[in-house]
Structure 1
Amino acid sequence: MPKSTPAASSFPRPSANLARIGVVGLGHMGSPMAGHLASAFPGRVAVTARRRRSAEAAVEAGAEWIDSPRELAARSDVIVSVLPDLPELRSMLDELLAGAEGHRLVLVIASTSSPTEVRELARELDEGPHDAVVLDAPVSGGEDGARAGNLSIMLGGDPDDARLVAELLEPCGRAVRLGPVGAGQVAKACNQLIVSATVTAVSEAAILADRSGLDVSALFEVFAGGYAGSRILATRGERIATEDYSPSGAAKYLAKDLRFATDVATDTGSSLVLLPHLRQTFADLEDRGLGDLDLCVIRRYLELGDS
């Protein structure tokens, strides 16, 4: 049954100019996002993490360090989770909900997660005793976009809460509501289908050009002004050309995201051509021990297939 106690429904929705923001998950994406929020909203942003050292950049930007998820929720109206996935969030959920006792909590899932599991979590909280709601807000743009504050943020959830979250996340990028809760994760699955297809195509082009004696870097400069130009070519083209696979966005996360895209295809009865092949390709790439390298390591994986 949905929550029905007066206390659970009497808390007002916080306004954007007063909302207190908490951030959990201070990795390559979460740390710069927390820093942008702390700079934009002085005195209103707090962070916590398993290791205090990972919060140093955010604290230097003005965020307050909090010792536990429970304490973070106690002083936050909106919590943005940039943890790797839902299991990590669920491991601290009881603490967050206990800390939010006495006020309304908006829980924003910025990780790339299963749309089905996000909806299940939203339903659990809606039917529970706490006044807590879930929005999903996965991001695209990679570490470069997080540092520059120009991420694409795909929102799903209640329209009024989404307006609040979009305003609060503006320092991190442009947020657009795409539908009810779970819509953001569906959008991210579609995004990752395009990303995986593009980085694979660019890598295959690099192999063909290199083996034909062309200067791959020069070739990609030519491509940039034509129909083959893309964000992947702009951010990963030179790294693919020079075979620089140092991690920025790990390939293993793309493998995970393609599993979620497959779930969406199954749920919608969609028979797709590229997705099954791409999912198998990146799953095999991870099995071969390449998952911790940058997603452009797909070039090395493809060349291994020739050996």
Structure 2
Amino acid sequence: MATFEETFGIGPGTGYDAGPGAADRRRVGMIGLGSMGMPMARNLLASGVAARVSVHGRSRDRIGPALDAGAEWCDSPRELAAASDVIITVLPDLPQLRELLEGEEGLLAGLSQPLLLVICSTSSPAGIRELAAELESRTDGRVRLLDAPLSGGADGAEAGTLSIMVGGDEAAFAVARPLLETFGTPVLLGPLGAGEVAKACNQMVVASTMVALAEATVIAERAGLDLARLLDCLGGGYAGGRFLASRRQRLIDKDYTPSGLARYMIKDLGFATDEAARGGVVAPQLTTLAALYEDLGRRGFGDEDLTVTQRYIAELDRLPGDGRER
């Protein structure tokens, strides 16, 4: 079997690809076609960048829109691996990916040629590096990884405007870049795991902004202010930004229908906490945010949208168990 470098035409003097257009005509597989993965798959198919797009999921019916757009169905992860040069996974975390790797019908069982595995999960940087080392050993270097967590939500996935934070080597990034550009703007931030560190930092900012908006809207509403007018004012000043714009109507309507589950923030802030500890960083706001979202999850709000933080804040004065009862 050819090496990874030979298969993808990368190495000294190759310019990282096997010729004009080579990197953007790969056979691509995708797993995890949910609220983010489905529009990503449709954008990839519409671009014509990939030579072929194959998909797999628990239910063929749920993947119907991708099949209608031209994707090919694979009955198992094994079949997907055999049909792909690059596999892009859009899963919650590494345990779900590990489950798909193993077994007689797993991805590794279908490995007939070197494979680039692009992991779009928000995961532990250390976990990514451990998985890469494990696969390097088990496959004699035939599987190469990139971590490529996403920011921008389902709206960004639909519009193809996601921020894609990538960790890995430059050669693998050069192969994946034309594909990732159909989803948004990919930026290589450093070696494997760097994308996950960046995503952890991103989530710290998102969480702090969400809590600030939640507290501000609850305070303002109890003072008799109109939330729509307030948020318009905030949006026109330094408090404005893409996150406020994306959550404005939800905060006004108190619509907590999930587009991204609040409980994922608990996991994400846990990764940020681990990185802070690894770097010896004292991060008081991160400590507060992590504790807040742990409490939010314990109180049963974890399966709502992140904007449920507003409801959590509004009910703190009457929620038992934390000494805040009045």
TM range, normalised to the smaller chain?
over 0.9
* 1:306 alignment partner, SS class: helix
Deviation sequence 1:150-190 (CA, Å, 0-9, x none): 10000000101112212111111110000001000000000
**How many Å separate the matches in 2 of 1:202 and 1:40?**
37
The residue number in structure 2 matching 1:141 is 152
Q: CA deviation at 1:98?
A: 2.1
In the comparison of the two structures, how many residue pairs are matched? 301
The letter for the 2-side match of 1:128 is: R
The letter for the 2-side match of 1:63 is: A
- Provide the alpha-carbon RMSD of the alignment: 1.4
Q: CA deviation at 1:92?
A: 1.6
The letter for the 1-side match of 2:166 is: L
**How many Å separate the matches in 2 of 1:269 and 1:19?**
42
Does 2:90 correspond to 1:79?
A: no
The partner residue of 1:117 within 108, 127, 147 is 127
The residue number in structure 2 matching 1:270 is 281
TM-score by length of 2: 0.89
Q: CA deviation at 1:11?
A: 3.6
Distance 1:133 1:97, change over 3 A: same
Residue identity over aligned pairs, in percent, reads: 50
**How many Å separate the matches in 2 of 1:284 and 1:250?**
15
Distance 1:191 1:8, change over 3 A: same
Alignment of 1:99-248 (within 5 A): 99-101=110-112, 103-130=113-140, 131-248=142-259
For the 8 Å contact 1:202–1:237, the answer to whether it is kept is no
The residue number in structure 1 matching 2:97 is 89
The residue number in structure 1 matching 2:28 is 21
**How many Å separate the matches in 2 of 1:156 and 1:203?**
33
Deviation sequence 1:20-78 (CA, Å, 0-9, x none): 11000111111111111122236510100011122111111111111110010101010
Deviation sequence 1:190-223 (CA, Å, 0-9, x none): 0000000001101111011111111111111111
Tell me which stretches of 4 or more aligned residues in structure 1 moved more than 6 Å.
none
Alignment of 1:41-60 (within 5 A): 41=48, 44-60=52-68
For the 8 Å contact 2:2–2:114, the answer to whether it is kept is no
Does 2:76 correspond to 1:65?
A: no
**How many Å separate the matches in 2 of 1:149 and 1:9?**
29
Q: CA deviation at 1:10?
A: 6.5
**How many Å separate the matches in 2 of 1:87 and 1:195?**
24
For the 8 Å contact 2:23–2:174, the answer to whether it is kept is no
The letter for the 1-side match of 2:133 is: R
**How many Å separate the matches in 1 of 2:269 and 2:91?**
18
The partner residue of 1:37 within 34, 39, 44 is 44
For the 8 Å contact 2:4–2:115, the answer to whether it is kept is no
Could you tell which deviates more after superposition, 249-258 or 125-134? 125-134
Q: Which runs of 5+ in 1 are unaligned?
A: 1-5
Distance 1:8 1:129, change over 3 A: farther
* 2:45 alignment partner, SS class: helix
Deviation sequence 1:259-285 (CA, Å, 0-9, x none): 111111111111101111111111111
Q: CA deviation at 1:8?
A: 4.6
Distance 1:238 1:9, change over 3 A: closer
Could you tell which deviates more after superposition, 14-23 or 84-93? 14-23
The letter for the 2-side match of 1:275 is: L
**How many Å separate the matches in 1 of 2:144 and 2:202?**
25
For the 8 Å contact 1:43–1:63, the answer to whether it is kept is no
* 2:8 alignment partner, SS class: coil
Distance 1:173 1:80, change over 3 A: same
* 1:39 alignment partner, SS class: helix
The partner residue of 2:7 within 7, 12, 18 is 12
* 2:117 alignment partner, SS class: strand
The residue number in structure 2 matching 1:3 is none
The residue number in structure 2 matching 1:258 is 269
**How many Å separate the matches in 1 of 2:165 and 2:159?**
17
TM-score by length of 1: 0.94
**How many Å separate the matches in 1 of 2:190 and 2:58?**
33
The partner residue of 1:290 within 294, 301, 306 is 301
**How many Å separate the matches in 2 of 1:193 and 1:74?**
38
